[in-house]
């Protein structure tokens, strides 16, 4: 079902019919025609349109934020900030896009040689619901600046966000059909990937979705970028500023109602300070204000769907049955809406779901260590490798964490966050490829070698 369902109430607000085969064909044809002319536009024109998109996002962030909150339940203050962050990404590529894709001269000892970065065509973006605007714009801004065109298959529970993004890009002045939303179900995605007019695919989502898309695209020999799950460690040493570490831990676990791939999920704490950390952390999580996500004071809203609540509750209950201890929360919320309380688990068995699986909701796991080497081992004892945060003021420990943690991003004394200036992505089962920065804009271009003798 492609529909807006208010997660705070469970009410079905609006339903949408998926595109049929003829409508999909029309959109693919339009994308191909748009690319043939758009690829010849200059950076100055693209920068002008992208600047206008940023202005629209900033000016209309309250309305856009309310739409995000309605469809997936994030607190309204975070939704407004998400719209503004999308504008930030647009402005980054306005300022730096032309330089990042400029021809590079190579000294070959005679004649002329250079490397050119040229667009490749239509890129299909398969995007998730948890950051319904930011996930799209961190793909769309560099892709459009590079001269590609975009096709968006968004999550089925945020259709109005998907359509609104297309509207923003059209209102910004981009040529017709340079960016189109495809309201289609998962079963229709393979047909789009297989179409020769689609040149590449980027996906942010679950491991099963990533495996399926990579397999389908691989059979067509098409480039993919995958940003999948994460079970990010948050290491706290006795050399850390414990007050800052605890405050950030609460924010890092509850951000976006706990539904973020880079949210800290496993809190790995030195055994000597673990009792104090647990006491403060559990108190901070319990103090979060839960309520209507449209209320500016709300800190923790509902999960996105009924299935998400049921899956998370099952993971917690199973872990507790296996021996995990609940410090706060742990009981599914009563009443309407898809709410789950802020929860902290400790003494978690190694084979339990809370230890081995990604918890996509406001549930934290506290693990204890007795040496820095054990902390690193615990941090790496996961199939994922997206982000990691480590808290210490000891330079030797900082170097060890930076060098030895298996992750695409390591933050010292700070919360893992995405920024247009830095590459974003992971290793292991968290996927491959990078978004944002110079690396993101060069993922979907033809890196062409030119030699004139």
Task: Give the catalytic positions in this structure.
Answer: 227, 261
Cβ(17)–Cβ(50) below 8 Å: no
Element (H, E) at 160: helix 159-171
CA angle 117, 168, 13 (to 5 degrees): 130
The per-residue DSSP string of 390-449 comes to: EE-S-HHHHHHHHHHS-SSEEEESS-----TTS-B--EETTEES-BSHHHHHTTTEEEEE
Distances (CA, A) of 348 to 203, 260, 273: 32, 22, 18
Q: Which residues pair with 300 in a beta bridge?
A: 290
Nearest-angstrom CA–CA distance, 191 and 23 = 13
Helix, strand, coil in percent for the chain, rounding step 5:
45, 20, 35
Cβ(7)–Cβ(291) below 8 Å: no
Cα-Cα-Cα-Cα torsion 98, 101, 107, 110, nearest 10 degrees, comes to -90
């Amino acid at each position: 079902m492609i529909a807006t369902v208010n997660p705070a109430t469970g009410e079905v607000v609006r339903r949408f019919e998926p595109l049929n085969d003829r409508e999909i064909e029309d959109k693919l044809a339009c994308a191909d025609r748009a690319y043939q002319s758009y690829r010849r536009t200059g950076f100055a024109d693209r920068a002008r349109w992208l600047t206008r998109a940023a202005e629209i996002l900033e000016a209309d962030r309250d309305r856009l934020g309310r739409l995000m909150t309605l469809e997936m339940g994030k607190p309204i203050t975070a939704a407004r900030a998400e719209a503004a962050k999308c504008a930030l990404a647009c402005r980054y590529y306005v300022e730096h896009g032309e330089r990042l894709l400029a021809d590079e001269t190579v000294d070959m000892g005679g004649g002329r040689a250079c490397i050119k970065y040229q667009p490749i065509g239509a890129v299909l973006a398969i995007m998730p619901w948890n950051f319904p605007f930011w996930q799209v714009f961190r793909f769309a801004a560099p892709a459009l600046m590079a001269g590609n065109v975009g096709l968006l298959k968004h999550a089925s529970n945020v259709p109005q966000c998907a359509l609104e993004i297309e509207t923003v890009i059209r209102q910004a002045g981009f040529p017709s059909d340079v960016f189109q939303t495809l309201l289609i179900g998962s079963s229709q995605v393979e047909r789009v990937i297989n179409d020769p007019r689609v040149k590449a695919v980027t996906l942010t989502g679950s491991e099963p979705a990533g495996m399926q898309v990579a397999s389908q695209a691989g059979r067509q020999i098409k480039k993919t970028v995958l940003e999948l799950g994460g079970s990010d460690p948050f290491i706290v040493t006795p050399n850390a500023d414990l007050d800052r570490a605890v405050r950030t831990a609460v924010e890092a676990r509850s951000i976006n109602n706990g539904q973020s791939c880079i949210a800290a999920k496993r809190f790995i704490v030195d055994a000597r300070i673990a009792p104090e950390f647990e006491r403060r952390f559990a108190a901070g999580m319990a103090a979060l204000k839960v309520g209507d996500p449209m209320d500016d004071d709300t800190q923790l809203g509902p999960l996105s769907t009924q299935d998400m609540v049921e899956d998370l509750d099952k993971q917690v209950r199973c872990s507790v049955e296996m021996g995990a201890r609940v410090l706060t929360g742990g009981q599914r919320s009563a009443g309407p809406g898809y709410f789950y309380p802020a929860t902290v688990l400790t003494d978690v068995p190694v084979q339990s779901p809370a230890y081995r699986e990604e918890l996509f909701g406001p549930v934290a796991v506290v693990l204890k260590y007795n040496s820095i080497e054990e902390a690193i081992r615990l941090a790496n004892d996961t199939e994922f490798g997206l982000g990691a945060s480590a808290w210490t003021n000891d330079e030797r420990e900082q170097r060890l964490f930076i060098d030895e943690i298996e992750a695409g991003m390591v933050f010292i004394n700070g919360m893992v966050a995405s920024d247009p200036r830095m590459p974003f992505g992971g290793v292991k089962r968290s996927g491959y490829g990078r978004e944002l920065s110079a690396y993101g804009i060069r993922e979907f271009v033809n890196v062409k070698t030119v030699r004139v003798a």
